[in-house]
Amino acid sequence: MIKRIRRHVKDARFEDEREFDNRLVRLPIIKIEFDDNRARKSGKVFIQNSIKFDKKLEDMRIDSALEGYVSERQYLSKDRNWYIYEFYAVDSQKQLEIKSASDLIEWSNKTADDYALRLDERATVPFHHLGLVGQTGSGKSFFIQMLVEQVLSKKVNHELFIIDPKRTDVYQMAKRTVGNERTADKTNAIELVKQFHERMKKRQDELQDYFMSNRNKTYRDAGLPALILLIDEFGALRESWKTLAKKERDEVDSILSDVAFMGRQLGCILWVATQQMNAQTMPTAIREQLVMKVALGDSDEQTYRTLFSSGVDIPPVQFTAGQGIYSYPGLASADKPRLLIAPYCSFLN
């Protein structure tokens, strides 16, 4: 692969113009590292930076030189001595099928502990506030149900509070798994939000003494379960609240902002899913606290910019159901999200 990249770099006239007619051409140093030398499904190409090549490397796409692989994102190393191009194998875009709940749990447990979720073959993340967007047919509902199945399978008894205003598959699953008391539709959504807020304030009291004697610790260090408030179709739900008095609308927004701002250390996690995201569907105070961001299927530019960042770099890929992009600190930045290919949980049909 290195030889192929070097040939393409040479063809792109990276050498000094004065050297072009010479027999010896000086090219930048190129290295390749696979994330797993056995599987060789993903990795990084390192191309040495220099004053002469800096601008060309910044603008260069290397996909054509990666036979069987696709470049996912590029950036400078921390010391700025290397341009790094992350890549993945083309055949890794094939969606894994999981045929039973037990298979899902087995797959998840390979990389996730009791306070983490496995998103796809490459990404496993700790519980955190989640913003999820996806149009109809994007696989959003399947993705939510996959996450819920994982949470319920943990040895720690995490508590889920689930709101689905449209009473779709997520609502039916919630009724079956977490029960009526922690499941709501449009009519009793606000009641459940307030119930969750009270539970959060109780958790705050529970942890007050622990935090005083244990600096920089979280609910997990105290051995407590996570409390997760999942709201599906948040945009539609918030639209329905426009008929309420302004005081009541502001109260609900304030509660959700409180959960998003204070909840992480307490283990009170907010997951919001919607078809589109803009300033009207998602208040800024909540959106800014959504650390894990996922967009499934194809979305409009405004949704991408609102969810991730104004300068987000979207991979030039046409996404199908279950495919999309995500960002999470340490794995992928909001400016340069990574490809996500969630497994197809056929047993949920």
The answer on whether 137 is annotated among ligand-binding residues is: yes
Q: What single letter denotes the amino acid at residue 155?
A: K
Closest-CA residue to 70 (of 323, 345, 295):
323
The answer on whether 254 is annotated among ligand-binding residues is: no
Neighbours of 224 (CB within 10 A): 17
Name every residue whose Cβ is closer than 8 Å to that of residue 40 and which is 6 or more positions away in sequence.
34, 89
The answer on whether 140 is annotated among ligand-binding residues is: yes
Rounded CA-CA distance 85/38 in Å is 20
The answer on whether 195 is annotated among ligand-binding residues is: no
Establish how many alpha carbons lie within 13 A of residue 160's alpha carbon, considering only the half-sphere containing its beta carbon.
Answer: 31
Report which secondary-structure segment, H or E, holds 133. Answer: strand 130-134
DSSP 42: E
Rounded CA-CA distance 265/221 in Å is 10
The answer on whether 141 is annotated among ligand-binding residues is: yes
- What DSSP string runs through 224-258? PPPEEEEESSHHHHHHHGGGS-HHHHHHHHHHHHH
Closest-CA residue to 211 (of 146, 131, 155, 267):
267
The answer on whether 108 is annotated among ligand-binding residues is: no
Q: How far apart are the first and last CA of the chain?
A: 42
The two tokens of residue 149 are: 């199945």
The answer on whether 138 is annotated among ligand-binding residues is: yes
Q: Which residues are annotated as a binding site for ATP?
A: 134-141
Q: Which residues are annotated as a binding site?
A: 134-141
